[in-house]
Amino acid sequence: MLSYMLAAFGLPAVSAQTKTAAIADRIFRAGASISNITPMLGEPIVGNFNEPPAENIHDDLHARCLVLDDGTTRLAIILLDNVGVDQAVLDEAKNLIYKKTGLPKHHVLIASVHDHSATSAGGRGMKRRGWQFGKPLDEYQTFLIRRIADGVQVAINHLEPARIGWGTGKVPQHLFNRRYRMKSPVMNPFGGWDAVKMNPGVGNPDVVEPAGGTDPEVSFISVQSTAGRPIALLANYSLHYVGGVPANDISGDYFAVFADRVQQLLQADRQDPPFVGIMSNGTSGDVNNIDVIGGDAKRYPPYAKMRIVADDVAKEVLRVYKNIKHKDWVKLQAVQSDLPLKVRRATPEMLANIAKVIARADTAKPLYHPLEKIYAARVLQMEQEWPNEINIPLQAFRIGDLGIAAVPFEVFTKTGLDIKAKSPFKPTFTIEIANGYYGYLPTPDQHKLGGYETWLSTNRVEVDASEKIVKELMSLFSTLK
């Protein structure tokens, strides 16, 4: 580029020796920050079918931010302690970040960790499951936007010459596919029959086998000062929340515990600026921490199980960390696209059964399923509010030889493994629930089996959406050279 500009002005081209000197002068920088995004008490805690009010804050919620700069390109990655944030909210956060810092919007990746112990950032009440674009943002959404932007500004303020490295380990013992083939079909809320059931219960004699696999990899990116002081560590692990949180408590779940534990293991406490540990959620749409077949149904005290999981993951990261080589400079790139996907619609049979459910008295026995009333309302809302097609944001980052894919769904393991296998960057990992939230993303073969993750309104887009997303991500990766 420099040689082209000099030639345009009739100046001599840059010599090979000058190019070598310019490369040697490149400075890689990194900065990180933590913003408190804890909501007010009294707001409903979401993630389950009941929404109890928040009455206690066990540990604060945060937006954890990492900013990387190779001297030409700057990237920001922000992880939020939330179950899922609407794209409209994150778009506004990116607008504010651009206004305050000049950072291009497609260079900013904002994702939720899928924390089930936080209040909603999707609007209030039932309407949070509707089509949110163009609707007024509520108080917490507005607060969240500002705190995200503040975090990026602080991380930029903390930029300093740095080195970067990455690695992968394996922590298979806490991962279980949560969808199980059953001996007999089970009825769903729409009056149809499913071959699989989510979380059928430990020791259930009707369980045949898991309906899918898991991804045991824990990937991570480490940045440290040129003197070797840890600045931040961003990890990625394909596991749903762990839970074990009292119903009315706000907590960051194992994601927050990992951040604290890895800081301790790296002996990075009480630094200035503070070290920032970050856990991102990989492709865990069909994976959780419950061993249905081999488990003993042991009950853990509140917060105990998440500490076990976080400790094991952090120790594996530390084991690999000790042997990675931090690089003085790597190339950074980002690209994003909007992929059009068709919105799923209810079949005539489903609508007929939903009408029967709506007509049933609340005190009467369910016709098909205990959740039929909830799903009837959700599907009707989709029919009324959702357009026939939506554009979903897909994003790809290059950090040296490492690739990151960002997808705004709860992604199944198979899709994540496909992305890793097909990506030109090694390693590659996927951050799910990124830049928006559009529900679950089963693969076509899992759609055929049915089950909670495939139910309409839990899943909202066309059956072959996962395959289209993988294809588009590979196209995006191919442009990063």
Per-residue model confidence as pLDDT tens for the chain (481 residues)? 444 344 434 445 445 454 444 455 789 999 999 999 999 999 889 877 788 999 999 999 999 999 999 999 999 999 999 999 999 999 999 999 999 999 999 999 999 999 999 988 876 544 455 666 667 888 999 999 999 999 999 999 999 999 999 999 999 999 999 999 999 999 999 999 999 999 999 999 999 999 999 999 999 999 999 999 999 999 999 999 999 999 999 999 999 999 999 999 999 999 999 999 999 999 999 999 999 999 877 889 999 999 999 999 999 999 999 999 999 999 999 999 999 999 999 999 999 999 999 999 999 999 999 999 999 999 999 999 999 999 999 999 999 999 999 999 999 999 999 999 999 999 999 999 999 999 999 999 999 999 999 999 999 999 999 999 999 999 999 999 8
pLDDT of residue 124: 58
Q: Which long-range contacts (CB under 8 A, 24 or more apart) does 191-197 make?
A: 191/349, 191/350, 191/353, 191/356, 191/367, 191/368, 192/349, 192/350, 192/450, 193/450, 194/449, 194/450, 194/451, 194/454, 195/448, 195/449, 195/450, 195/451, 196/449, 196/450, 196/451, 197/451, 197/452
pLDDT of residue 23: 54
User: 453 near 442, Cβ under 8 Å?
Assistant: yes
pLDDT of residue 424: 98
User: 178 near 199, Cβ under 8 Å?
Assistant: yes
The phi, psi pair for 17, rounded to 5°, reads: -65, -40
Strands 193-198 and 179-187: antiparallel
Distance, CA of 258 to CA of 174 (rounded, Å): 14
Distance, CA of 451 to CA of 194 (rounded, Å): 6
Contacts of 299 (CB under 8 A, 6+ apart): none
Tokens of 287: 């994976």
User: 464 near 447, Cβ under 8 Å?
Assistant: no
Surface-to-core class of residue 46, CB atoms within 10 Å of its CB (0-12 exposed, 13-18 middle, 19+ buried): buried
pLDDT of residue 187: 98
User: Cis omega before residue 104 (within 30°)?
Assistant: no
Contacts of 56 (CB under 8 A, 6+ apart): 41, 246, 248, 249, 250
Give CA separation, 236 vs 135, 168, 404, in Å. 33, 9, 10
pLDDT of residue 24: 57
User: 111 near 431, Cβ under 8 Å?
Assistant: yes
pLDDT of residue 149: 98
* Prediction pTM value: 0.93
Surface-to-core class of residue 137, CB atoms within 10 Å of its CB (0-12 exposed, 13-18 middle, 19+ buried): middle
Distance, CA of 82 to CA of 11 (rounded, Å): 55
User: 381 near 129, Cβ under 8 Å?
Assistant: yes
The phi, psi pair for 467, rounded to 5°, reads: -70, -40
Distance, CA of 144 to CA of 148 (rounded, Å): 6
